[in-house]
């Protein structure tokens, strides 16, 4: 019972029935906590005062011996947890439909802590292909050096392909983790998360080892795909992209069950890769407009993809909205994704010379890597994001000298289309 004699409301009822748009604006913050300020203040303090010596001991007991290490304990020191981080994490958990969330200094910080916490020397890892460059570098560099063997799945829509890859991997050691990136960048290849989760369940029954299933959800983001609903254990998102949405911060997030996020959060404290107060506050601000930005950039992307598909100097567009009816990828896409997103690739007639001529004529699009910002970006994949990828692998992932990747922002669509049209006249 609370002080006024009314029964305590269970926490779940605070947000039950409310939409993500509503929760992104006010969930879990009470102005009474901070002078009536309508918006949460930034708390920059690195350390937090104990009310008494006995309370100090209790706080440390809760942190080290409590059932949910750190998550519900009072604040001690900002590397462990701080008020802006806690508030942000509660909203990120809601967004992904997760029990728990941990935010990191970048997407790669979230990916590396997850892999280090859930893998040990002698394990193997299955992964979809192609992988984000940083994830590939981590698995085949430092983690390989620790005796962890990564094996790529050729076709992540085929149970047979997953099962064959698992056989190869198990020759090295038990499969500790299956890491899925779907849709893949830049191929827009789709993996069937549910099928892979079912496969892991069967492996558990047969071999008594159940790999953890992590999904890198960066390419579509939390509003368009909810991997945890399709059987993934962990969902990893680079908040640098759609959630941050303004190309002015780096951040990452891990969501899932308390049991599987907990050890990664403990490791985050040891690595010191938590998200700082100002970035956490910026993200709280970004999340408020996330649904609006997402709707606009997706509508813009649809219009631009259609314009490019019909342009005589464009030979192909890998836009998820154009997946072939009746194909296996389309069936999984329809079940797994709520929209095609706003980042895709296209090919022009010609090669590097024509691509560069076109890029140098653009006035509204900015030439840069990354994606998911309010501004529209474009880059020539072969000479930038895939510069260090050997040409044969580039071909495998569908990147050649005619490939351009665009991330569509929230500008007026007519201006974006006019800009592309005049630039395509360059050759």
Ligand X SMILES: *Cc1c(COP(=O)(O)O)cnc(C)c1O
Which of 20-28, 100-108, 191-199, 282-290 is the region at the interface with ligand X (rule: CB under 6 A)? Answer: 100-108
DSSP letters for 159-217? HHHHHHHHHHHHHHS-EEEEEEESS-TTT-----HHHHHHHHHHHHHHHS---EEEEE-
- 134 vs 350, beta carbon nearer ligand X: 134
Residues with Cβ < 8 Å from 298, sequence gap 6 or more? 224, 339, 340, 341, 342
Token code pair at residue 141 = 């560099």
Nearest distance, CB of residue 139 and ligand X, angstroms: 13
* Cα separation of the two ends of the chain: 74
**By C-beta, is 110 or 317 nearer to ligand X?**
110
Q: HSE on the CB side for 348, CA within 13 Å?
A: 26
Give min distance, CB of 106 to ligand X, in A: 3
The answer to whether 273 contacts ligand X (rule: CB under 6 A) is no
CA triple 408-413-417, angle to 5 deg: 85
Report the residue closest to ligand X, judged by CB.
Answer: 107
Our CB check for ligand X shows the closer of 151 and 253 to be 253
Distance CA 404, CA 399 (A): 9
Q: Closer CB to ligand X, residue 43 or residue 111?
A: 111
190: left (phi over 0), alpha (psi -120 to 50) or beta: beta
Q: Which span (235-243, 294-302, 303-311, 323-331) binds ligand X, by CB under 6 A?
A: 235-243
CA distance 117 to 101: 15
Among 185, 225, 279, 342, binds ligand X (CB under 6 A): 185
Region of 20 on the Ramachandran plot (φ > 0 left; ψ -120 to 50 alpha; else beta) = alpha
281 interacts with ligand X by CB under 6 A: no
- Cβ(210)–Cβ(222) under 8 Å? no
Least Å from the CB of residue 404 to ligand X: 17
Least distance to ligand X, CB of residue 385, Å: 9
For residue 250, state whether it binds ligand X (rule: CB under 6 A).
yes
Stretch that binds ligand X, among 13-21, 151-159, 238-246, 279-287 (CB under 6 A): 238-246
Note whether 69 binds ligand X by CB under 6 A.
no
Binder among 130, 211, 221, 252 for ligand X (CB under 6 A): 252
Q: Does 219 bind ligand X (CB under 6 A)?
A: yes
Residue whose entry in the numeric block shows the structure tokens 């709280």: 284
Least CB distance from residue 17 to ligand X, whole Å?
32
- Taking CB under 6 A as the criterion, the residue among 114, 129, 225, 238 binding ligand X is 238
Return the residue of 83, 107, 341, 413 that touches ligand X, per CB under 6 A: 107
Q: Is the peptide bond before 125 cis (omega within 30 degrees of 0)?
A: no
Within 337-396, the residues that bind ligand X by CB under 6 A are: none
Judged by CB under 6 A, which stretch of 104-112, 331-339, 355-363, 417-425 contacts ligand X?
Answer: 104-112
User: Which residues within the stretch 128-147 sit at the binding site for ligand X (CB under 6 A)?
Assistant: 132, 134
Q: Closest distance between ligand X and the C-beta of residue 107, in Å?
A: 2
Number of residues binding to ligand X, judged by CB under 6 A: 15
Q: 180 near 128, Cβ under 8 Å?
A: yes
Question: Is the distance from CB of 121 to CB of 148 less than 8 angstroms?
Answer: yes
| Interface contacts to ligand X, rule CB under 6 A | 106-108, 132, 134, 181, 185, 216, 218-219, 238, 240-241, 250, 252
């Amino acid at each position: 019972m609370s002080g006024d004699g009314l029964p305590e409301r269970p926490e779940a009822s605070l947000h039950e029935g409310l939409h993500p748009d509503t929760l992104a604006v006010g969930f879990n913050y009470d102005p009474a906590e901070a002078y009536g300020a309508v918006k949460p203040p930034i708390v920059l303090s690195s350390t937090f005062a104990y009310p008494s010596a006995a309370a100090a001991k209790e706080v440390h007991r809760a942190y080290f011996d409590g059932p949910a290490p750190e998550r519900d304990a009072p604040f001690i020191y900002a590397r462990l947890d701080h008020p802006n981080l806690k508030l942000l994490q509660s909203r990120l958990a809601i967004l992904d439909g997760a029990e728990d969330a941990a935010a990191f200094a970048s997407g790669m910080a979230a990916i590396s802590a997850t892999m280090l916490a859930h893998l040990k020397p002698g394990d193997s890892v299955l992964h979809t292909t192609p992988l984000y460059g940083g994830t590939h570098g981590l698995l085949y560099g430092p983690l390989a050096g620790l005796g962890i063997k990564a094996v790529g799945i050729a076709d992540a829509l085929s149970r047979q392909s997953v099962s064959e890859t698992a056989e190869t991997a198990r020759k090295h050691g038990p499969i500790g983790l299956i890491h899925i990136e779907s849709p893949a960048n830049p191929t827009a290849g789709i993996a069937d998360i549910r099928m892979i989760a079912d496969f892991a369940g069967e492996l558990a029954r047969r071999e008594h080892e159940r790999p953890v299933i992590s999904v890198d959800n960066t390419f579509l983001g939390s509003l368009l795909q909810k991997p945890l609903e399709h059987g993934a254990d962990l969902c990893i998102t680079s908040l640098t992209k759609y959630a941050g949405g303004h190309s002015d911060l780096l951040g990452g997030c891990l969501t899932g069950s308390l049991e599987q996020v907990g050890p990664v959060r403990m490791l985050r404290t040891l690595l010191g890769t938590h998200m700082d107060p100002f970035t956490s506050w910026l993200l709280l601000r970004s999340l408020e407009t996330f649904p609006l930005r997402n709707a606009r950039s997706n509508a813009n992307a649809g219009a631009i993809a259609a314009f490019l598909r019909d342009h005589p100097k464009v030979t192909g567009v890998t836009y998820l909205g154009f997946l072939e009816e009746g194909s296996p990828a389309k069936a999984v896409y329809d079940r797994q994704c709520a929209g095609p997103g706003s980042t895709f690739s296209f090919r022009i007639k010609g090669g590097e010379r024509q691509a560069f001529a076109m890029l140098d004529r653009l006035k509204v699009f900015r030439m840069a890597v990354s994606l998911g910002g309010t501004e529209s970006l474009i880059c020539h994949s072969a000479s930038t994001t895939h510069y260090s990828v050997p040409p044969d692998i580039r071909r495998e992932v569908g990147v050649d000298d005619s490939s351009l990747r665009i991330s569509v922002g929230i500008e007026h669509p007519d201006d974006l289309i006019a800009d592309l049209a005049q630039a395509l006249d360059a050759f």
